[in-house]
Structure 1
Amino acid sequence: MTIKTFDAFTRLSINDINRITNFLFEYSDEARDTKSAIRKSLLYAAKEIPGLGGYVFVMEYKNEIIGATVVNKTGMNEYIPENILVYIAVETSFREKGIAKALIAHTIAYCDGDISKHINKDNPAIKLFEKQGFKTRNIEMRLVRN
């Protein structure tokens, strides 16, 4: 299985954006974001909306998505990492088979600069990220204005 890479030069089609949005919505263990929020991260990565862009990494098996990662560039460094790994998801029946590990390794190899990942402190995937070299550094506090 290979990992397809999409960025500002290897464009995502509308069909790709819809497929990846639906996949991430269904399989991401992140706090349940809306499909709109997921779609926005994909559009930002693909430079379809103003910003620095980023990357989308997709692994398929028999033309079905089994894993996907979205990375957005922040345009910063030193005080905030240059990249944020926004979403990572693996289809349920393919978990514990090295798909997430391969996606994280690909992300690390492909992205220049530091990479951050917001993750719930109770998420068991923390161990996977630690094995890939990620270290706990900060606790995020957020003021959400509705």
Structure 2
Amino acid sequence: MTITTFDAFSRLSINDISRISKFLHEYSGEFTDTKSAIQKSIMYAAKEVPGLGGYVFIMEKKQEILGAIVVNRTGMNEYLAENILVYMAVKTEYRGRGIAQKLIEHTIKYCDGDIAIHVNKDNPVIELFEKQGFKARNIEMRLVR
């Protein structure tokens, strides 16, 4: 199993963007966004749309995606994290095998600056992030229009 890193310099093809967004949508569980929203975050990370870019990390075995993370750069520091971990998923049958932990560790090593994540308060993945050193700091309140 290898972790592949994509950013503005190691471009994602349209097929890769589609494949990764489909994977994240399918395996993110009940706490996921639309496939379109996921695709936009990947395109932002790959600098296919204007913005600061970010990173897409995927763990594969024989060209089968086992896990994936999307990180978007915010351009902020001190008052907001420089990076936001937007999406993470592990294929159902591979959960509990350390894939999410390895992806998070890779993300922490690869990204410069603070990393934030918005997690639904009922999502059991919170414990995994706490083990990696993440701390609950704020509550997001959002006005949806």
Q: Answer yes or no: same fold by TM over 0.5.
A: yes
Aligned partner of 2:26 in structure 1 is 26
Aligned partner of 2:81 in structure 1 is 81
How far apart are residue 97 of structure 1 and its match?
Answer: 0.1
Aligned partner of 2:9 in structure 1 is 9
Counterpart amino acid of 1:100?
A
**In 2, Cα distance between the equivalents of 1:29 and 1:129?**
17
TM-score norm. by structure 1 comes to 0.97
Does residue 1:98 correspond to 2:98, yes or no?
yes
Counterpart amino acid of 1:115?
I
Is contact 1:8–1:54 with CA below 8 Å preserved after alignment?
A: yes
**In 1, Cα distance between the equivalents of 2:101 and 2:76?**
26
Counterpart amino acid of 2:55?
Y
Partner SS state of residue 25, structure 1: helix
Aligned partner of 1:44 in structure 2 is 44
5 Å matches for 1:58-77?
Answer: 58-77=58-77
TM-score norm. by structure 2 comes to 0.98
Cα deviation code 1:63-82 (max 9, x no counterpart): 11010000000000011000
**In 2, Cα distance between the equivalents of 1:30 and 1:137?**
23
How far apart are residue 104 of structure 1 and its match?
Answer: 0.3
Q: Any unmatched runs of 5+ in structure 1?
A: none
Counterpart amino acid of 1:129?
F
How far apart are residue 30 of structure 1 and its match?
Answer: 6.0
**In 2, Cα distance between the equivalents of 1:81 and 1:42?**
19
Does residue 1:56 correspond to 2:88, yes or no?
no
Segments of 4+ in structure 1 off by > 4 A?
none
How far apart are residue 122 of structure 1 and its match?
Answer: 1.0
**In 2, Cα distance between the equivalents of 1:122 and 1:107?**
23
Q: Any unmatched runs of 5+ in structure 2?
A: none
Partner SS state of residue 76, structure 1: coil
Backbone CA RMSD of aligned residues? 0.8
1:10–1:94 distance in 2 versus 1, CA, 3 Å: same
Quote the sequence identity (%).
Answer: 74
Does residue 1:138 correspond to 2:106, yes or no?
no
Is contact 1:30–1:119 with CA below 8 Å preserved after alignment?
A: no
